Amino acid sequence: MTVHGSQIPEAMLRRIPRQARSRERLAHVLATADRLLAAEGPEALTTTRVAAEAGMSVGAVYQYLPDRDAIIEALATSYLARIEVTMASFVAAATEQHRADPVGALVDAFAQVYRSENGFRALWFGRHLTEATRCADREYKRRMADMLRELVLAQQQVIDSARLPDACRAAHLIADTLLQEAFRADPEGDPALLREAKTALRGYLAALTAPTRR
């Protein structure tokens, strides 16, 4: 179900909003929670506080999101979905637009997502990820690696091989780790770490085109 511009799994919600007004109400709750998360951190995400800030009753919020874990999981899913949309747009354009430096373009695009998603940074850099959120993150990483493989093949950067899925998974993990560290150090992204992320990934991409070494 699409809420707040992102897909929220129906199983995550206590009640599924069917009418447009109900979906708008849930989107308003999540937008309010996002603002609170960015401004005050995950500790602020109680149903009581979110309801008060949204101008709604606790019961109205509880219809969809019964506790803080549910709010965190819904927000996390929406953040990850928006990042996937960024990658999907690169994949969709890859067959028609050849980029001289796809690695640089990707790192710059994801760095911009980090800059614009204050709530995402507050959640991921804190200690409040639920087990369901961690599971969603693992699935997200798998999908991102699959899309990265599609991208480099479409851009004719490498030749397909049995190694490529593992290489793309490793490349995404490298990029994800360096991006997170860059934005832990600086809300705008540590320029040195972003530069080194590009250097590392360009080198990895070049290595994939070289003869395999043991």
132 found inside a domain: yes
185 found inside a domain: yes
CATH number of the domain to which 24 belongs: 1.10.10
Its domain, for residue 47, covers: 2-62
Is the same domain home to 178 and 72? yes
Q: pLDDT digit string (tens) for 18-37?
A: 667 777 888 899 999 999 99
Residue with tokens 């560290």: 181
How many other CB atoms sit within 10 Å of the CB of residue 86? 14
Q: With residue 7 as reference, give the H or E element that holds it.
A: strand 6-7
CATH number of the domain to which 177 belongs: 1.10.357.10
Last residue of a domain, one of 18, 38, 62: 62
Is the same domain home to 94 and 114? yes
Q: pLDDT digit string (tens) for 131-184?
A: 888 888 999 999 999 999 999 888 887 888 898 999 999 999 999 999 999 998
pLDDT in the model for residue 130? 86
Q: Write 176-180 long-range contacts (CB < 8 A, 24+).
A: 176/141, 176/144, 179/107, 179/110, 179/111, 179/114, 180/124, 180/125
Number of domains in the chain: 2
Is the same domain home to 101 and 140? yes
* Between 198 and 159, the higher pLDDT residue: 198
Q: pLDDT digit string (tens) for 76-104?
A: 888 898 899 999 998 998 878 888 888 89
Is the same domain home to 82 and 51? no
b/e code 147-179 from CB counts within 10 Å (16+ = b): bbbbbbbbbebbeeeeebeebbbebbeebbebb
Quick check: 16 pLDDT over 80? Answer: no
Inter-residue contact 172 to 148 (CB < 8 Å) = yes
214 found inside a domain: no
pLDDT in the model for residue 50? 95
pLDDT in the model for residue 158? 83
Query: What CA–CA distances, in Å, run from 159 to 10, 90, 170, 173, 211?
Result: 39, 19, 17, 21, 12
Is the same domain home to 56 and 97? no
213 found inside a domain: no
Quick check: 3 pLDDT over 50? Answer: no
Inter-residue contact 175 to 102 (CB < 8 Å) = no
